[in-house]
Amino acid sequence: MRLRWRRPRSTDDFVAEVRAHIDHEVDRLVAEGVPAHEARRLASRAFGPVAGATERFHEARTWCGLSLSGAEAVWLDLRYAVRMVARAPGLCAVVAVTLSLGLGVGASLITVFNGLFLRPNVSHDPSSFAKLFISSTGGDVRAARGEPWSATIEEFDALRVGSHTLVDVTASAWATFRVGGQVSGQLRGLWVSCNYLHAHVPVVVAGRTMTDDDCDPSRAPVAVLSARGWTRLFGAATDVVGRQVTLNGRAVEIVGVVGDGAVRDPVAAEVFLPYSQRPDAAHAANPTARSRDAWLSLSGRYATGASPAAVQREVQGLIDTVNGPRGRSSTARVTNGAAIFDPSAGKYLPMMVSAGAFALVLVLLLTCANAAMLLLARAVAREGEWAMRLRLGAPPSRIVRQALIEGAVLVLPAWLLAVALASWLPPQLLSRLSVFPLSVDLAPDWRVWGATGAMTVAAGSLAAVAAARHAVSAPLTAGGATATPRSHAWLLTPQVAACVVFASGVATLSATDERWRAPRVAYDPADVVVATWTDEGAGVGATRALAAATDAAAQLRDLPGVAHTALASPAPFSGDMRMVVRHGQHDAVSTSLRVVSAEYFALAHIDVVAGRPWHVAPHTSATGGSVEAVVSLGLSHRLGGLTPPARLELHDGRTLTVIGVVADTVSIRPDATDDPLLYLPAGAAPTPATSVLVRGGAATAALVRARWPQSSPTGEPAIESLSTILARSGGGYRTGRDILALVAALALAVCVVGTAGAVAFQLRRRRRETAVRLVLGATRVGLLAHHLVTTLTPVLTGVLVGAGVALALGLAWRPADAGFVGALRDTAWPGLVVTVVSALAAAIAAIRALKAASLTALRED
Amino acid sequence: MSIRKRGDREYSAHLQGTLDLLVLRTLLHGPQHGQGIARAIQQTSDEVLIVEHGSLYPALQRLEERGFVTAAWGVSQNNRKARFYTLTKAGRAELVRERSEWTRIADAIRRVLDPSTT
């Protein structure tokens, strides 16, 4: 290509040449005897449209070999587009706000989803990070908190020493540490192997990191703070290194502060302690505990050249070597640390993430479709102008380009607003998800921005291009086309349905929240005080915790105002333990499990239906070597109408003797159908926490705190009322409700815009027909009703579809006794609200459009 | 550009790409302004070829962009301002090339229409 460095010719110069040409032609014609005025007319006619010639002149111009039809024409189109936007500020503002809100909120939720579930969330060298999951069954293996994918110390040691495909095999376990002494509060932290910080959090802020010597149980206990814990609880004091603090009743020395490195888990660790300091069972010295208790979470770093498959094979082999001789069956899995691949999350997490992603993409698409609908309605009004330009000689490509630029001028600011919103909103959403600080990588993903940007541009340009194409294919003659755009109106159906489902979900979660606040129990939760030792936090050992809890219950029973004291693990509404039992030839049943003392039934007002609870000291209750158990009426029915005494078989071959049947109660989740419950005496099964329940008056909590046995070897437990536990446990529903309310509000806004856009577009398309009808005597009210019926048919269809889906989901979610009526109520009002709001939006849009459909419009056409 | 049919009716068909060739050939006689070029083509072709004036100037612009002609404002014989186009060296070479190509195609068409003359 030959480059010519010269100034491009101006349009004015070209027009001057055209004028000169016409003047010459006039001279020639006059010379031939044509009158002057006729000569000018003939010369102009012979030349043809000057605009067309100018358009072709623009197309032909180049600069440095590059077409100038680009830059200058784009600049002209840009200026024109800005003027056109300024002419309809209201409509453009609605489109911009709809797009920015829809895309911004959608992208924010995708970012949070991405950070929580899809990213490994490892701040130091995530590409080499490997998360190891080990599940062992059979023998005497005992998983902490019933989690099947934890490892024993023996398994950890085997991997640490034997693995060649992994370097720095590390172990960790979450714990909550209560800080005593000069500062007080709670720290969320980890028991870690002493190579953990070196492998995953290598940045040392102050002091030192952990060394292998720190994991020697005979050494004085030490702790390392994270920058977050250091700042939050110690105000980033520079003298914190070397200070002695009390963690869970034990004095430890803080030896260093490390950076806030995220290691897979979204909850940010605030303190790290050597795992060998965990007092439970003295792991390093107790061979039984080393091989039996699975409580460690393992991870590592790939050795150079190692592949995930090679690591998987090696880990499986090493674990089999350890567990095979003990009669255990083991399964090992290796992932990159992303939560969605976590086998302990089960199959529901991928399903939920997929469903959430689908809903978000749907919202994004509908947002763009609705914005496009509004733009289409606006673009249709300009078909006449474009058709005229075509007749004057403008090439179709020029019209399409102008349409694209106009779309871009409108939607690009909306996209920038969406980017700003999506940068600000994710941290705000995340802060509501957990009481503990979360460390989630919320860095924007360029693919999300690319996708939302492409969708925005598509929304802005497709509508304009569609209208331009119509003008190109049928110039001038098709002004006021009468085609009914039913296909566009039916876009409303899925979004209205989604809107109803989201709104019904908000109603259902609100009702669930209410039930969490006031569960249907025969006592006032505010009157029950719960003192809990969590095994993960205190690490006092199940046996010591049980003994301390039993002693404490006996002492607290004598306090004034105390009606009952009992042991219950887990405490009501504090979690769920499960066990699989079988009775005779009946199918095995998975049931909730609660380990309680005999007084629990009286404390919780649970009536005995048949047989009796155990009477003796709870942790010694047994009948001929078989543990005595009590079942709820629901479990009794599930097991084929079991009546005591009866024998239950566990999955590992052990047996239970059922000595009593008690009434059903709501004590696991107040929003669900009463679970079948199996009660075991305290000490009969390992529990992650041990709780003492004290039922008395409102002042009981203060009394219990004040009179807590000072001699308790386990230190002070967490003391709170049952109503506080309920409020905390139901917090997830409130967060879910708030997020869903945000989505529902967004969906409703999108729906309103979509409805208004559909009506406006339809009436624009049919303005000629409407004007003719008005001339022939049709009333505006009649036409309004006609258009409303046409538009609201897909809206009402959407409401019905959405209500059906919401009702089905509501029935599946709700407990049977709150079933159909409650689900119907939670579905009916959102459907009504969506219908009314959509009808209003349609009516307003129709009235505005009908005003424009007058004889004037007909004449313009 | 159109071809005027006998009976003063025009074909709607256009002779694509020939306008540039005719313009270059006309400028071989010396600098000329747009209206003069159009008149020259019509007169030389005995009013058979009618140059659409609106198409002529974009074609001139295109030739100028490609370096086959240069242009400068001047004064015509009528004492009016006009933009005069002059054939360049590259334009002459292009004219030779295009003329040769046109002759080859015209011969080919003639052979198809009247095989007996070949």
Q: pLDDT tens digit string along A503-534? A: 888 888 888 777 777 787 888 888 888 887 76
Is residue A442 helix, strand or coil? coil
Q: Please give the structure tokens belonging to residue A435.
A: 């009481």
**Is residue B72 very low, low, confident or very high in pLDDT (cuts 50, 70, 90)?**
very high
CA distance A192 to A213: 13
What lies within 8 Å, CB to CB, of A219 at 6+ separation is: A213
The torsion angle over the Cα atoms of residues B25, B28, B31 and B33, rounded to 10 degrees, is -10
Burial (CB count <10 Å: 0-12, 13-18, 19+), residue A359: middle
The region of weakest confidence among A304-318, A652-666, A704-718, B79-93 is A704-718
CA distance B56 to B49: 13
**Is residue A537 very low, low, confident or very high in pLDDT (cuts 50, 70, 90)?**
very low
CA distance A499 to A737: 14
Cα torsion A565, A566, A572, A574: sign: positive
Q: Which residue has the higher pLDDT, A38 or A671?
A: A38
The region of weakest confidence among A478-482, A547-551, A733-737, B96-100 is A478-482
**Is residue A246 very low, low, confident or very high in pLDDT (cuts 50, 70, 90)?**
confident
pLDDT at A639 over 80: yes
> For A191-240, what is each residue's pLDDT tens digit?
899 999 988 888 888 889 898 888 887 888 899 999 888 888 888 888 88
* Chain A residues near residue B33 by CB distance under 8 angstroms: 20-21, 24
> For B19-60, what is each residue's pLDDT tens digit?
889 999 999 989 999 999 998 998 898 888 888 887 888 889
CA distance A802 to A396: 43
In this complex, do B35 and A28 lie within 8 Å of one another by their Cβ atoms? yes
- Strand A677-681 with A627-632, pairing: antiparallel
User: For residue A398, which phi and psi values (nearest 5 degrees)?
Assistant: -70, -40
**Is residue A78 very low, low, confident or very high in pLDDT (cuts 50, 70, 90)?**
confident
Give the DSSP H or E segment for A168: strand A166-180
Q: Which residue has the higher pLDDT, A479 or A102?
A: A102
The mean pLDDT value for A632-642 works out to 86
Q: Is A14 on the interface with B (CB under 8 A)?
A: yes
- Strand A129-137 with A329-335, pairing: antiparallel
Cα→Cα distances A843→A580, A636, A759, A829, Å: 59, 59, 8, 21
Is residue A263 helix, strand or coil? strand
Give the DSSP H or E segment for A503: helix A492-517
What lies within 8 Å, CB to CB, of A653 at 6+ separation is: none
Is residue B60 helix, strand or coil? helix
| A678 beta partners | A593, A631
> For B89-110, what is each residue's pLDDT tens digit?
999 999 999 999 889 988 888 8
* Chain A residues near residue B82 by CB distance under 8 angstroms: 17, 20, 24
Is residue B12 helix, strand or coil? coil
> Within 10 A of A74 (CB to CB), how many other CB atoms are there?
15
Q: What is the ipTM of this complex?
A: 0.82
Q: Please give the structure tokens belonging to residue A300.
A: 């590592």
Nearest chain A alpha carbon to B73: A17
DSSP strands (E only) in A422-489: none
In this complex, do B35 and A4 lie within 8 Å of one another by their Cβ atoms? no
Q: Please give the structure tokens belonging to residue A330.
A: 């083991």
pLDDT at A612 over 50: yes
Instruction: Name the residue among A189, A156, A132 with its Cα closest to residue A293.
Output: A156
Choose among A2, A50, A59: nearest Cβ to B67: A2
Are the C-beta atoms of A714 and A538 separated by less than 8 Å?
Answer: yes
Is residue A131 helix, strand or coil? strand
Instruction: Name the residue among A486, A498, A363, A372 with its Cα closest to residue A793.
Output: A486
CA distance A593 to A678: 5
| B49 beta partners | B3
Is residue B45 helix, strand or coil? coil
* Chain A residues near residue B81 by CB distance under 8 angstroms: 16, 20
Q: Please give the structure tokens belonging to residue A230.
A: 């250091």
Cis peptide before A570 (omega within 30 of 0): yes
CA distance A464 to A611: 78
> For A749, what's the count of Cα atoms within 13 Å in the CB-facing half-sphere?
22
The mean pLDDT value for A462-474 works out to 65
Choose among B53, B61, B76: nearest Cβ to A46: B53
pLDDT at A562 over 80: yes
CA distance A165 to A297: 18
Q: Which residue has the higher pLDDT, A501 or A59?
A: A501
Give CA A289 to chain center in angstroms: 38
> For A349-378, what is each residue's pLDDT tens digit?
777 777 777 777 777 777 777 777 777 777
Place of tokens 């203060």: A702
Based on its alpha-carbon atoms, the radius of gyration of chain B, rounded to whole angstroms, reads 16
Is residue A563 helix, strand or coil? coil
**Is residue A502 very low, low, confident or very high in pLDDT (cuts 50, 70, 90)?**
confident
The mean pLDDT value for A44-62 works out to 77
Nearest chain A alpha carbon to B84: A17
Choose among B53, B57, B67: nearest Cβ to A57: B57
Query: Which pLDDT score, from 0 to 100, does residue A540 have?
Result: 52
Q: Is A20 on the interface with B (CB under 8 A)?
A: yes
Mean pLDDT of chain A: 78
- Strand A689-695 with B49-50, pairing: unpaired
A-B contacts at Cβ under 8 angstroms: 67
If you count DSSP H runs as helices and E runs as strands, how many of each does chain B have, helices first?
Answer: 4, 5
Gap from B21 CA to chain A (nearest CA, Å): 17
In this complex, do A53 and B55 lie within 8 Å of one another by their Cβ atoms? yes
CA distance A563 to B103: 117
User: For residue A235, which phi and psi values (nearest 5 degrees)?
Assistant: 60, 30
The mean pLDDT value for A636-659 works out to 82
The mean pLDDT value for A179-186 works out to 69
Q: Please give the structure tokens belonging to residue B102.
A: 């046109």
**Is residue A752 very low, low, confident or very high in pLDDT (cuts 50, 70, 90)?**
confident
> For A586-604, what is each residue's pLDDT tens digit?
777 778 888 888 888 888 8
Query: Which pLDDT score, from 0 to 100, does residue B27 have?
Result: 94
pLDDT at A762 over 80: no
Query: Which pLDDT score, from 0 to 100, does residue A147 have?
Result: 57
> For A8-31, what is each residue's pLDDT tens digit?
778 888 888 988 988 988 998 998
Query: Which pLDDT score, from 0 to 100, does residue A478 have?
Result: 41
Query: Which pLDDT score, from 0 to 100, does residue A14 have?
Result: 87
In this complex, do B81 and A20 lie within 8 Å of one another by their Cβ atoms? yes
Choose among A2, A16, A25: nearest Cβ to B35: A25
Instruction: Find which of A9, A14, A21, A64 to mutate to test the B interface (most B CBs within 10 Å of its CB).
Output: A21
3-state secondary structure A626-641: EEEEEEEHHHHHHCCC
* Chain A residues near residue B53 by CB distance under 8 angstroms: 21, 25, 46-48, 53
Residues of B within an 8 Å Cβ radius of A: 33-36, 39, 52-55, 57-59, 61-62, 64-65, 67, 76, 78, 80-83
**Is residue A542 very low, low, confident or very high in pLDDT (cuts 50, 70, 90)?**
low
In this complex, do A18 and B57 lie within 8 Å of one another by their Cβ atoms? yes
AA identity, residue A659: I
Three-point CA angle A226, A230, A231, nearest 5°: 120
Choose among A14, A24, A61: nearest Cβ to B80: A24
Instruction: Name the residue among B88, B89, B97 with its Cα closest to residue B60.
Output: B88
Is residue A497 helix, strand or coil? helix
Query: Which pLDDT score, from 0 to 100, does residue B82 have?
Result: 92
Cα→Cα distances B69→A62, A65, A122, B28, B33, Å: 15, 16, 67, 11, 12
Query: Which pLDDT score, from 0 to 100, does residue B11 have?
Result: 43
> For A104-161, what is each residue's pLDDT tens digit?
888 888 888 888 888 887 888 888 999 998 887 765 555 554 456 888 888 899 999 9
Choose among A52, A59, A61: nearest Cβ to B54: A52
The mean pLDDT value for A327-356 works out to 78
